[in-house]
Amino acid sequence: MPHAADPQTRVEARRERPPAGDLDRPERATLELASRLGRLIREVVAAATDKPAAREQVTRLVLESVLAMFAGHVELLPLGPPAVSGGGPRLILSPAQVRVLADAARDFQWEDIRPEILGSIFEQALDPEQRHELGAHFTREADIARVVGPSVVAPWQALIAAIRTPADAEQAIARMQAFHVLDPACGCGNFLYVVYRAMKRLEAALADRWTKLHADITPPPPGPWFTVQQLHGIEIDGLAASVARVVLAIAEQLVSRELGLPAPTRPVGAHDSTIRHADALVVDWPRPAGELAIVGNPPFLGVRKLRRAFGDPRALQLFARYPGNRGADYATYWFTRALELLRPGERAGYVCTNSIAQNEGRAASIDRVLAAGGTITDAWRSYPWPGEAAVHIAIVNWVMSPWPGPRTLEGRVVPAISPGLTEAVDVTTARHLRGNEGLCFMGVTSGNEGFVLTDEQRAEIVRGDPGSASVIRPLLIGRDVSRDPEQRPTRHIIDFAAMDEPEAQTYAGAFRHLLRHVYAKKRSGSERKTDAEKLRWWQFVRPRPRMRAAIAALPCVLVIPCVAPHLVVSRQARATCFDHQLMVVALHEYYHFGILQSQLHAIWARARGSTLKGDLRYTNTTIFETFPFPPLSAARYVPGARPPGSKADRVAETAETFDRTRAAACKQRGLGLTRVHNQLHDQRAPGSLSPLQSAHDALNDAVTDCYDFPAGVWRDERETLRLLLQLNHRIADLS
């Protein structure tokens, strides 16, 4: 089945067709016929001068011949196949080539026709090298069913099974009449064919349910309740779009015969309005008034090949329209579009490259689904194409709402599915740990940029009033921690803390600056403030007095950016003013730094936190105040204290080594923590970072040992979460 991508940008690796022994008789016959007709097409193209035009002309001829053969068999002639469009060379078939068509008409058992034959012929019309580049290879119905089943069939089966009254049945029929399905990368229409056949079977099941409830007394509403006009496709390849329209025409006939329904008389051209020949990343997707499901197999293309495949103008256009996807596989763009369209409770499912469960790909796809309130209901993390495939794909199905029902991972029921498409532990049952209270705080919120000073403004104030230097503090924001190689504050801020106005006025230079840059704005009403805020205009909107009291006696503190790609912990001087983009932890020992910078804490944070455009959002309530530190003993939990013994000593030692090694890597490479941790977590990190990787592994091993967890468990996300959740519950029971 070809993908909805430019011919130059199809799947990077081959999708081999399944071994003949794995196919049933109709599939084998279909593939054999497709192979013969494909050979005919290639022979004609090879002899032509204008090969692209000849390929389109002869492919259309063969596809229309197949449609005519089918129509003749099911007594639909004259059907009037679509006219061959456009100019091109005159096609001359040899007697042997004509016999291929004649033999197909005579010998093929047309009652065994599968609509996917048309996509297979499209595939076979390409030479092997081109077929490898396009990724246009046979896709079995069993693979399509792994998307259509969870995202379309299963919800309808559950709805029909839940019908108890005639009113329920009436509502279900009305809902089916308003239900639509979109494949925004429809290729030759195989997904839509599978959806149509499944929905017509469900329609029959719904009609049977109606009959049982109404005891054959009240006739059901006139049908059909689901038609091909409720199927929508977008396909960038014009010939593939034409094939998809023909596939739907055949599907109508086959399904009608299977279910004993009246044969449709709709002409082939009637499907033109629902199958669009267009670029799915440029045009608007159909948004019906009723319910919508989105399914399909978006094109795969690695980010490093985008520019080469598309050219700079097209690539830059895509990057501008989808800035959050530019670092990820091309398939992730279809997730972004789906999330722009789907409403709460609606479903979607894609067959994709398995890179969507990793790093930038996950951030641009699955993480966004979860951040938007979606739930993964069914997935395959790394599923090989049948046969001798050199590519593994992922299958993801989700619903845009919380989902209390079962979740299935690679065919087995699991309690939850993680963003990495692994079995997840349900950490929503984690309990608040009272011992963790009063240790982690959000930084201050000034509420007005007038408090913030450049180096020049600070120097000017201090020249005129040296005493004001004591209320001007370095201002550390999240970007400083994430991007500056030394995690240094880049600006200053006037901080009067909880001073009353007379005391603040004693710092004349700083107070005058605020009169001009803060008070004037608040008095003019250009900023919306409460009366209380206006009364204390020289103070921050949120000065965080509890945080100030908690860190007052500490030599330094630990800070964590509230939003960052990775969980990073930095040690900072207490006298710094910490912005609200940072979480401030009132702990300072390397032991605590090591626990919080460990992979165990990072796994917990990802599982308990939310994401913003794929970045982790760290919070003091949902993450820190539920995270269990190693207890002091079986009956004593004091997270702010360091446990006695060599295990805690080892955590402190390895944490200090990691911190110094990381600082050296940042300085040497001129990188901030985000980029260094990007490379640290990238398995392809250059060899120059290996000392940092070794230091990180040593830290994780030491922390794991301090918890008395099995060695190396930090490499297993699910088991780490299970053990931490178990410890969380045990500690909560102590209080």
CA distance 322 to 328: 11
Which pLDDT value is given to residue 75? 57
Q: How confident is the model at residue 612 (pLDDT cuts 50, 70, 90)?
A: low
If you average pLDDT over residues 489-500, what whole number do you get?
95
pLDDT of residue 548: 97
For the cut 80, the answer to whether the pLDDT of residue 139 exceeds it is no
Helix axes 51-73, 95-107, angle to 10 degrees: 30
Q: How far is CA 706 from CA 595, 606, 615, 637, in A?
A: 9, 21, 29, 14
Does pLDDT of 599 surpass 70? yes
Q: What is the pLDDT of residue 27?
A: 67
Integer-rounded Cα Rg, in Å, for the chain is 32
**pLDDT for the residue numbered 62:** 79
What is the pLDDT, as a whole number, of residue 129?
A: 47
Q: Which band of pLDDT confidence, cut at 50, 70 and 90, is reported for residue 532? A: very low
Across all residues in the chain, what is the average pLDDT? 84
Q: Is the pLDDT of residue 81 over 80?
A: no
Whose CA is closest to 159, among 198, 205, 225, 111?
Answer: 205
Q: Does pLDDT of 527 surpass 70? A: no
**583 three-state secondary structure:** strand
pLDDT per residue over 320-375, tens digit each? 999 988 888 899 999 999 999 999 999 999 998 888 887 778 888 998 998 899 99
How would residue 244 be classed by pLDDT, with cut points 50, 70 and 90?
confident
Q: What is the pLDDT of residues 537-561, one digit of tens each?
A: 999 999 999 999 999 999 999 999 9
Mean of the pLDDT values across residues 528-541?
A: 70
Q: What is the pLDDT of residues 684-728, one digit of tens each?
A: 444 555 899 999 999 999 999 999 999 999 999 889 999 999 999
Band (pLDDT 50/70/90 cuts) for residue 14 is very low
CA atoms within 13 A on the CB side of 113: 31
Give pairs for 503-508: CB < 8 Å, separation 24+. 504/471, 504/538, 506/467, 507/465, 507/467, 507/468, 507/470, 507/471, 508/465, 508/467, 508/468
Nearest-angstrom CA–CA distance, 69 and 705 = 71
pLDDT in tens, 107-127: 777 766 666 666 666 666 555
Q: In what order do the strands lie in the sheet with 556-561?
A: 440-442, 582-585, 556-561, 570-573
Sheet with 472-476, strands from edge to edge, namely 452-453, 491-494, 472-476, 577-578
Do 31 and 17 contact (CB within 8 A), yes or no?
A: yes
pLDDT over 70 at 305, yes or no: yes
Alpha-carbon distance of 190 to 2, in angstroms, equals: 10
Give the model confidence (pLDDT) of 366-420 as tens digits: 989 988 999 999 999 877 655 444 567 889 999 999 988 889 999 999 988 888 8
Residue in the structure block whose two tokens are 């629902």: 274
Q: Is residue 672 within 8 Å of residue 561, measured between CB atoms?
A: no
